[in-house]
Amino acid sequence: MSYSPNQQVDVIIIGGGPAGMSAALVLGRARRHVLVLDEALPRHRVTRESHGFLTRDGVSPSELRQVARQQIAAYPTVRFVQETVVEAEGIDGKFEVKTQNGQVYHARKLLFAVGMKDLPMELEGLEAVYGKSAYVCPYCDGWEMQNRQIAVIARSAFALHLTRTVSGWTDDLMVFTHGEQLPDEQKQQLESRGIPVFETPIQRIESENGETRAIVLEDGRVIERTAIFFAPQLEPGSTLPSVLGCETMDSGAMVVDESGRSSIAGIFGAGDGASQKYQVAAAVAAGSMAGAGINTELLESDWEHRAASLS
């Protein structure tokens, strides 16, 4: 089914990653007219395999996307367009969004499923291993990296938390704070468990075909390591929710209720960009809940309209 840009749809979903596609599926099955505007840069695109999502453990992110798109294609009222949304305005029942290509679309409800994105990586060599032997989430990739010589790179108090978590997958751990002093108590906790702490700044990460080989420190030491877990710097996939006045967390992610409702009527959020849990299963669940939440509000409004139109 095709829409002209001026035709109002029920819902515009901004972002077509796992959260946005899950909401699109629920809304398509509810016979809603849905337009998904997606710039198609899901956060896990750097990784070879996605893990931990039941029935899809170990598939590539592109296969996950392809299967989802194939299944959603069965619902003809859902349309996907590859576009970046740059502006949004309006009130509940009447929103307008503009894309980078100058197209304007209208909808009764908006769902932001824009994810979080990594800020540019400041460590030389990290990008080359990201998604291949350097990861951010042990639950996603710890199994594949188990028993390796793991470097935990984290500059804040998060170092202790991340190291304790990664210790479930290997005994061979070293912590690199890249020039930051860890509080004594934390350093003592790590060292008393046989985990060395390096506070010297890192000069670069050495690797071969995406496989980590060593951490090179600014003082010249070369520390052999074969995998990395690190704490990335993130920002929301889009600043539009906060521009529209939606309440946000410290991370910039939207504050939403269990049905994805934001603090602004008619605007919903789902997935990484409205959460503190960054996993496909959580994003899919949130998208599904938001889809149902949006449909509930549309049903309520249509119910009232039906009575009014007969009186």
Rule CB under 6 A: is residue 131 a binding residue for ligand FAD? yes
Q: Output the smallest distance, CB 285 to ligand FAD, in A.
A: 11
Nearer to ligand FAD by Cβ, of 133 and 170: the residue is: 133
Nearer to ligand FAD by Cβ, of 266 and 273: the residue is: 273
Stretch that binds ligand FAD, among 42-50, 73-81, 142-150, 249-257 (CB under 6 A): 42-50
Query: Positive or negative CA dihedral for 45, 215, 122, 146?
Result: positive
Rule CB under 6 A: is residue 114 a binding residue for ligand FAD? yes
> Residue 71 region, left (φ>0) first, then alpha (ψ -120 to 50), else beta?
alpha
* Nearest of 295, 255, 279, 285 to residue 112 by alpha carbon: 255
Instruction: Indicate the residue type of 111.
Output: L
Rule CB under 6 A: is residue 88 a binding residue for ligand FAD? no
Q: Output the smallest distance, CB 178 to ligand FAD, in A.
A: 19
Stretch that binds ligand FAD, among 70-78, 175-183, 191-199, 275-283 (CB under 6 A): 275-283
Name, in order, each residue with C-beta under 8 angstroms of 194's C-beta and a sequence gap of 6 or more: none
How far apart CA 9 and CA 3 sit, in angstroms, is: 8
Q: Output the smallest distance, CB 167 to ligand FAD, in A.
A: 20
CA dihedral 10, 298, 68, 260 (to 10 degrees): 120
**Would strands 78-81 and 34-37 be described as parallel, antiparallel, or unpaired?**
parallel
Nearer to ligand FAD by Cβ, of 136 and 197: the residue is: 136
Question: What is the DSSP code string of 115-162?
Answer: -EEEPPP-STTHHHHBTTTEES-HHHHHHHHTTS-EEEE-SSTHHHHH
Stretch that binds ligand FAD, among 18-26, 150-158, 213-221, 288-296 (CB under 6 A): 18-26
Q: What are phi and psi of 248, to 5 degrees?
A: -130, 160
Question: Which token pair is 53?
Answer: 């999502």
Interface mask (CB under 6 A) for ligand FAD, residues 43-72, using x and -?
Answer: xx-xx--xxxx-------------------
Stretch that binds ligand FAD, among 31-39, 184-192, 209-217, 258-266 (CB under 6 A): 31-39
Question: Which token pair is 69?
Answer: 């798109």
Nearer to ligand FAD by Cβ, of 66 and 188: the residue is: 66
Contacting residues toward ligand FAD, per CB under 6 A: 14-20, 37-44, 46-47, 50-53, 84-85, 113-115, 131, 135-137, 140-141, 237-238, 271-273, 278-281, 283
